[in-house]
Chains A and B, each alone.
Chain A
Amino acid sequence: MLKIDGISSHYGGVQALDDISLFQREGEILALIGGNGAGKTTLLNLISGIIRPSCGKILFKGENIVSFPPERIVELGIIQVPEGRHLFGPLTVRENLELGAYRRRGKHNKKKISEDFKYILQLFPVLEKRLNQRAETLSGGEQQMLAIGRGLMGKPVLLLLDEPSLGLAPLVIQEIISVIERLRKEGTTVLLVEQNARAALRISDRAYVLETGKIWLHGTASDLLGTVEVKRAYLGQDSMAFSIR
C-alpha cells in the first residue's frame, strides 16, 4: 500500500533523513521507533506533504504522491494525527471532530459522517460530555483522544499516528492502545510512530527502527522485541534516555 523509496530530506542544511526505503502492506500496523531526532516525525510529514524531500519517491497504491499538496494527500485517505496534537484549540470538541470529516464534505456523506461521529464517541466516551467545550480546555489525555477521533472522522485508508502516548498516564496509554487494536481488527492500516518501543512493538505487526535519519533495523515486531540491541536501546534495560514511560 505504501512504499517509500530512497527518500532523503534536509532541514536547514542538516540531513534529517538519509536514503530511507520502507514499505507497508494493507491492513498492517507498522511501527516506526527511534529516539528523539531520529527523523520519525520528518518522515510522517513527508508522507503528508507538509515538507518536500530532497530526493526519493513515496508511492501510495502505486502512485507517486511526493509533489502532492497536503489536502490532496488527505483526499487519498492518508490522515495524520500529528504529534503535540495540533488541535483547533478555540473551536469546540464537536467542531474539531466535524473538521476531521472535512475531506468527506458533501451532502451524500452526511448520514455516514453522523454514524462515524457516534462511533467516535463510543470509542472515547469521555468526549461526549465535552462536545461543546473548547478543545483547549481538555486534559492532555482527552486532547489526544480528540486528536485521534478527529483523524478517524476522515475515514483514513492509512492512519499516521505520531507519538500518541507522549506525556500520557499509563491508564490513558492503555486505552489508546486498545483503540489501535480495535482499528486493526476493523481493517485500518496504521503507521505508528513511537518512542515507547515496548508498547509499539506489542501491538504492531512489523517495525522499523530509525536512528539519526537512517533505518537501523527492521523486521517483524516479535523478532525485534527479542533483539538484543532493541532491548538495550529502547526497552529500558540499559541507561539510554528513551525507555518505557
Chain B
Amino acid sequence: MDFSQQIAQYIVTGLTIGAIYAIVAMGFNIIHNATGIVNFAQCEFISLGGMFMYSLVVLFKVNLIISFFISTAGVALIGALIEIGPIRHARSKEIIVLIFLTIGLSEVLRGTAQEVWGTDNVGVPAFSGENPIHLLGGGTIVPQHIWIFAITVLVMLLLHYFFKKTLMGKAMRATAVNRRAAALAGISVNRMTLFSFAFSGALGAVAGIIIAPISTTSYDTGIMLGLKGFAAAILGGYGNFAGAILGGVILGLLESLGAGLVSSQYKDAIAFSVLLLVLFLKPTGIMGYGEAERV
C-alpha cells in the first residue's frame, strides 16, 4: 500500500466518522437553538437508537428498514417525553438548572438502559453485507460506510429542506431567534421546543443506528460519540447548521489523519488541541457569529 493510498484511506475514514459526529452535533444544535440549553441526554439518544435497533433486528427479527424507523421514532418519542415532562415542568427555567436536569435525565436513561439490556456490547448486522469495496483513488470501505454517508447526507438535506422551506421549520427558526416575537406571531413556543427535543432524539437515534453495525452498541456507546459530536458542534460554531457539518467532518479528518500520519497514541490529543486552538482564535467556532443565523 503506497503512501497516497494510505492518505486516501485516512480521508475516507475521517469523512465517515465525521459524518456521524455531524449528525450528533446537529442534535445538540437543534435543542440549543430552541431552548438555549446543552442537552446532555443527547448521548443517551445515540445509545438508545443502537439498542432499539439491536432489540428489533437481532432479538425480534424485525425487518431492517422497519426497525430503522421504529427505533428512530421510539427515541424521538423519548425525546418528546423528556420535554413534556421534566423540562417543561422544571420549577426553575434557569439555563444552568435545565442543563443539570438533562445530566440527571441522562443518568436515569442510561441506568434504565443498563437494567434492560445489561452491559454487554452487542452487534447489529450491517445493512448490506460486509464485503469491502475498493475505491478508485485508493482506500477501502465496507458498504456500511456508504450507508452512513448517504443517510447523513439525506438527513442533512431533509433538515435543510425542513428548516428553509417549510412553514413549521421557519417557525422553529423564528422561535430560536426571538421567542417573544414568535409567540406574538401565533407560534406555540412550547410546541416548537417539544419538536426540537423529538428531532434531536431522532437524530441521535439515527447516528446510533447507522454506526452500530461498525462499532457494536451498548447501553453507553453514546457517551463517546456524544462528546465527540458536542466537540464538533463547538468547533463549527455552537448552534450553527453548516458549522455542525463542517465541525464534524474536520474533527473526523483530524482524528484519522492524526492517528495515521502523526501518532495513534495522541490522536485525541491532536484533535482536541486543534479544537482549543480554533476556540482561542475564534471563540464562537468556525462558522459562529454571535447570535446571528442559527439552526
Contacts and interface: CB of A to CB of B under 8 A. Distances in A.
Interface of A: 48-50, 69-71, 74-75, 79-80, 82, 86-91, 95, 98-100, 102-103, 105, 134, 136, 150, 154
B292 A105 contact: no
Given A86-B178, A100-B185, 5 more contacts: A75-B186, A86-B184, A88-B174, A90-B293, A102-B186
17 contacts: A48-B183, A50-B180, A69-B190, A71-B186, A79-B184, A86-B181, A88-B177, A88-B182, A89-B177, A89-B178, A90-B294, A91-B170, A98-B170, A99-B174, A102-B171, A105-B167, A136-B292
B188 interface: yes
A71 B189 CA distance: 8
Determine the interface band of chain B, counting residues with CB < 8 A from chain A: 20 to 34
Interface of B: 167, 170-171, 173-174, 177-178, 180-190, 292-294
Contacts of A49: 183
A214 B84 CA distance: 40
Nearest to A150: B185
Contacts of B187: 71, 99, 102
A70 B188 CA distance: 8
A91 B177 contact: yes
Given A89-B177, A90-B294, A91-B177, A70 B184 contact: yes
Contacts, number: 77
A124 B50 CA distance: 53
B167 A99 contact: yes
A88 B186 contact: no
Contacts of A82: 180-181, 184
Contact of A91 (B174, B180, B184, B188): B174
Nearest to A82: B184
A154 B185 CA distance: 8
Contact of B171 (A69, A99, A134): A99
A90 B178 CA distance: 10
A82 B183 CA distance: 11
Nearest to A134: B293
B202 to A, nearest CB: 22
A116 B188 CA distance: 23
Contact of B292 (A80, A87, A90, A95): A90
Contacts of B178: 86-89
